[in-house]
């Protein structure tokens, strides 16, 4: 039995769950993920482990597809059928000197555990978190507490720097040495932001979690080309050298399931209306 300890909406359509999963909590390291199923018929969804506290792990997700929308309806005390993890290879963490973690939108959720391990390893940690607008920024206080410095960017200028995380990263690279960079967010954001570190020759990691389905390397839907070789994000990653990732192919692959996902969301909406659990009055 895996129980949802707490469930809350922390920004528009972005939910934070603490789930009791002792075996995952005991072994989880930065960069790893878990896979959960709501019920026996449920789809498996990979979610990055955002933090650990005692025998509970935190996941943060955006309610976009059918399963994440269903997950968002769960409350504290509800049970999940399966929580499997930790999966994937942990982040490569050691004392590099100065490390920078960059998060976009819901991708910010992946940063606290990485930032914390970097800090514990003796690094000076810079955080850059960005979102479309101030309302979509998450975990700001927590990131401020962990990082030595935190910069905030919004596309619309409603908070912090008016512009993109890539702009702030460039600015910082211009006037100091940064030894390692982690970037986690939507594929286009990771592509653009990791391009910023190329001229400086800074080793940069991206996490390719959102493209997985089964998480064991069996289904092949998370195939990515890294340095000209085929890799599986779930077992070879989820973190890869950003400068080696074929982002164009990655973004084309992410569009493969758009139609099925849309149909599933529509079916789920109809179902919840009929069951009287959802309907328009809730959302």
pLDDT tens profile 227-241: 777 776 666 667 888
pLDDT at 212: 37
Q: Is 1 exposed, middle or buried (0-12, 13-18, 19+ CB in 10 A)?
A: exposed
- Please give the residue that has the higher pLDDT: either 223 or 202: 202
pLDDT at 115: 97
Q: Is the pLDDT of residue 185 over 80?
A: yes
Q: Is the pLDDT of residue 253 over 90?
A: no
State yes or no: 234 annotated in a binding site: yes
DSSP secondary-structure letter at 89?
A: P
Distances (CA, A) of 168 to 11, 114, 146, 162, 184: 23, 20, 19, 10, 15
Average pLDDT, stretch 4-11?
96
Mean per-residue pLDDT over the chain, rounded: 86
Picking from 36-50, 86-100, 136-150, which range would have the lowest pLDDT averaged per residue? 36-50
**Cα(279)–Cα(268) distance, rounded to whole angstroms?**
11
State yes or no: 147 annotated in a binding site: no
Q: Is the pLDDT of residue 170 over 60?
A: yes
Chain centroid to CA 228: 25
DSSP secondary-structure letter at 245?
A: B
Q: Is the pLDDT of residue 275 over 50?
A: no
Average pLDDT, stretch 190-207?
95
**Cα(150)–Cα(11) distance, rounded to whole angstroms?**
19
Average pLDDT, stretch 159-182?
97
Average pLDDT, stretch 251-279?
57
Q: Is the pLDDT of residue 274 over 60?
A: no
pLDDT at 227: 78
- Please give the residue that has the higher pLDDT: either 271 or 11: 11
Using pLDDT thresholds of 50, 70 and 90, give the confidence band for residue 44.
Answer: confident
Using pLDDT thresholds of 50, 70 and 90, give the confidence band for residue 249.
Answer: confident
Q: Taking every pair of C-alpha atoms in the chain, what is the biggest distance, in angstroms?
A: 58
Strand bridging mode 33-37 / 98-104: unpaired
Instruction: List the end-to-end C-alpha distance of the chain, in Å, as a whole number.
Output: 29
Q: What domains can you pick out in the chain, each with its CATH number? A: 2-89 (2.40.30.10), 98-207 (3.40.50.80)
State yes or no: 219 annotated in a binding site: yes
Q: What is the pLDDT of residues 84-142, one digit of tens each?
A: 999 989 999 999 999 999 999 989 999 999 999 999 999 999 999 999 999 999 999 99
pTM for the model: 0.85
Q: Is the pLDDT of residue 219 over 70?
A: no
Picking from 47-51, 69-73, 216-220, which range would have the lowest pLDDT averaged per residue? 216-220
Distances (CA, A) of 96 to 124, 203, 244: 9, 11, 21
- Residue 270: which residues within 8 A CB-CB, separation 6 or more? none
Q: Is the pLDDT of residue 215 over 60?
A: no
- Residue 224: which residues within 8 A CB-CB, separation 6 or more? 208, 211, 230, 231, 232, 233, 237, 240, 245, 246, 249, 250, 253
Strand bridging mode 14-20 / 2-11: antiparallel
């Amino acid at each position: 039995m895996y129980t949802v300890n707490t469930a809350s909406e922390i920004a528009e359509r972005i939910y934070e769950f603490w789930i009791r999963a002792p075996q995952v909590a005991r072994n989880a390291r930065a960069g790893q993920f878990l896979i959960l199923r709501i019920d026996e018929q449920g789809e498996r969804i990979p979610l990055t482990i955002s933090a650990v506290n005692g025998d509970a792990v935190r996941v943060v997700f955006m309610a976009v597809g059918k399963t994440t929308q269903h997950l968002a309806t769960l409350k504290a005390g509800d049970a999940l059928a399966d929580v499997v993890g930790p999966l994937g290879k942990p982040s490569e963490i050691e004392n590099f000197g100065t490390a920078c973690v960059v998060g976009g939108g819901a991708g910010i959720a992946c940063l606290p555990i990485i930032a914390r391990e970097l800090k514990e390893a003796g690094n000076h940690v810079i955080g850059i978190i960005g979102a479309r607008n101030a309302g979509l920024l998450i975990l700001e206080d927590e990131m401020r507490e962990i990082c030595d410095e935190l910069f905030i960017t919004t596309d619309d200028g409603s908070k912090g720097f008016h512009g993109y995380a890539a702009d702030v990263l460039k600015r910082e690279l211009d006037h100091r040495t940064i030894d390692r960079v982690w970037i986690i967010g939507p594929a286009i954001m990771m592509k653009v932001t990791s391009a910023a570190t190329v001229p400086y020759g800074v080793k940069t990691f991206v996490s390719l979690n959102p493209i997985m389905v089964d998480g064991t390397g069996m289904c092949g839907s998370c195939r990515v080309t890294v340095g000209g070789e085929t890799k599986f994000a779930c077992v070879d990653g989820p973190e890869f050298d950003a400068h080696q990732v074929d982002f164009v192919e990655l973004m084309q692959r992410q569009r493969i399931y758009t139609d099925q996902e849309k149909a599933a969301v529509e079916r789920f909406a109809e179902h919840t209306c009929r069951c009287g659990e959802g309907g328009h009055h809730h959302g």
